[in-house]
Amino acid sequence: MTAERATRADRAVVRAAHPVAFPLVSAIPGAVRRVPGLGVVVKDAGLLRAVLMDSEHFTKNGPGAPSDLWTPVLGPRVLLNMEGVEHHALRRQLAPLFSPAFVDGFVAESLGAATDALAAALASGDRVDLVTHARRGAGRVISRLVGLDESAFDDRMFARVSSVTGYVTLARPRLGPRQLVAARGILGELGAHASRAYAGDDSTVPGRMRALGLSEPEALGAVGAFVLTGTETIVSYLPRLVALLVDSGWHARLAADPSGTDAAIAEALRVTTPSPVMLRAVTAPTRIGPVAVRPGDRIILGTYWADTALGVFDPDANPAASLKQLWFGAGAHYCLGAPLAMAQIRLALDALLVHPGLSITRRRAARGVLIPSYAELEVAA
Ligand code: HEM
């Protein structure tokens, strides 16, 4: 397959997830436009970054912003619904958990054995579903972050967490009463585990948060943020990365010469943009390009469209380099888990690049999900 067809195959994954919203947002003309009933849609990388960097006029904590979705579930102090000095202070306290030294050890401990098992299964000629692999891996990481026994975060638990993010759509800025009860149920359950771990020694992540000076509500809020942001993004990305590499012929190229691996990972993050949309509320009147915005407006930052406007998957030309990792956001809310995500990606990819002849034997896109993903991506060496 060519890079064009590889990119088209990934676009089909996005369409399967959002058969209505994807063509609708794609059809909105221009860099920024007010769309009645939806909000102000921004699809230009420069304007999008300017909004993310401007915390004087834009907030994640206001009408139509992520706080409307998550504050009723997790309370007011969960990073992704905080702003200003308190937000900055909480991120600083959490920073040691995402330092390279901690992350590398954490990923090796959480995922080393599963990655070895993946490599061994492929070496012995088995077919492996990379979605199941990525899901179990994300489950292990989340278990450790929550302070759970590894076996406790099983496929059922993963499905329950996914059902919570599955309640979110572009057209629904708040969870309904029944959705709220279900979301509080699953996140409350995880919170109860985290609370026990917080009270114990600092061999668990919640215990370490206590040692870092976080109060119990702050630690539980951070755990909730990790669960919401750090599971489906990585389960979306890993199989889509491998599909792009195999479909475009880049998998064999990198297996022979890994020097382009970082560029290929970044290009695949650009083309897939696993977190396709960000939301903001407006705190004071201002403009986004030619469009005047005011408090009450809901700003829909279409990162997926800004990123993919730069064309097909092409690690040689590497257009991703110009975007300064916009797929992880920018400014005060830049993805806290980016080093953890990158370590997970590198570990899985290194195991797969051992097999230059990797091929895709089955694939199926997930339908009607929030984060576009394969439901199945079976590979063989
Ligand atoms: C490929 C995988 C990932 C992608 C593409 C991604 C993308 C993003 C983006 C775009 C934001 C900013 C949202 C905004 O400004 O509205 C964000 C925030 C965040 N991400 Fe990630 N993420 C990924 C993986 C992870 C992982 C593995 C974790 C860790 C558990 C994580 C934890 C967080 C947290 C805690 C925030 C909120 C930060 C804040 O509000 O200060 N992410 N992520």
pLDDT tens-place string over residues 226-256: 888 888 899 999 999 999 999 999 999 999 9
Atom of ligand 1 nearest to the CA of 226: 30
> Atom 39, ligand 1: which residue's CA is nearest?
333
**Those residues with Cβ within 8 angstroms of residue 244's Cβ, 6 or more apart along the chain or in another chain:** 6, 7, 9, 10, 250, 267, 268, 271, 272, 313
Structural domain range at position 337: 3-380
pLDDT band with cut points at 50, 70 and 90 for residue 369 = confident
- Pocket test of ligand 1: the residue of 275, 325, 326, 327 to mutate, having most ligand atoms within 8 Å of its CB, is 275
State yes or no: pLDDT of 25 exceeds 90.
yes
The answer to whether 106 and 144 are in contact (CB under 8 A) is yes
Alpha-carbon radius of gyration of the chain: 20
pLDDT band with cut points at 50, 70 and 90 for residue 304 = very high
* Whole-number pLDDT of residue 119: 93
Backbone angles phi, psi at 201, to 5 degrees: -85, 180
Backbone angles phi, psi at 121, to 5 degrees: -60, -45
**For 279, left (φ over 0), alpha (ψ -120 to 50), or beta?**
beta
Average pLDDT over residues 316-338: 96
Q: How far is the CA of 124 from the centre of ligand 1 (A)?
A: 36
Atom of ligand 1 nearest to the CA of 344: 27
Which long-range contacts (C-beta less than 8 Å, at least 24 apart) are formed by 201-204?
204/144, 204/147
User: Residue 349 is part of a domain; what is its CATH number?
Assistant: 1.10.630.10
36-45, 98-107, 164-173, 174-183, range with greatest mean pLDDT: 36-45
Q: For residues 131 and 326, what is the distance between their CA atoms, to the nearest angstrom?
A: 25
Per-residue pLDDT reduced to its tens digit, 96-115: 999 988 899 999 988 999 99
Look at the chain and report how many structural domains it folds into. Answer: 1
Sign, CA torsion 273/375/107/168: positive
Ligand 1 lining (C-beta closer than 6 Å): 60, 79-80, 91, 225-226, 229-230, 233-234, 237, 274-275, 278, 327-329, 333, 335-337, 340-341
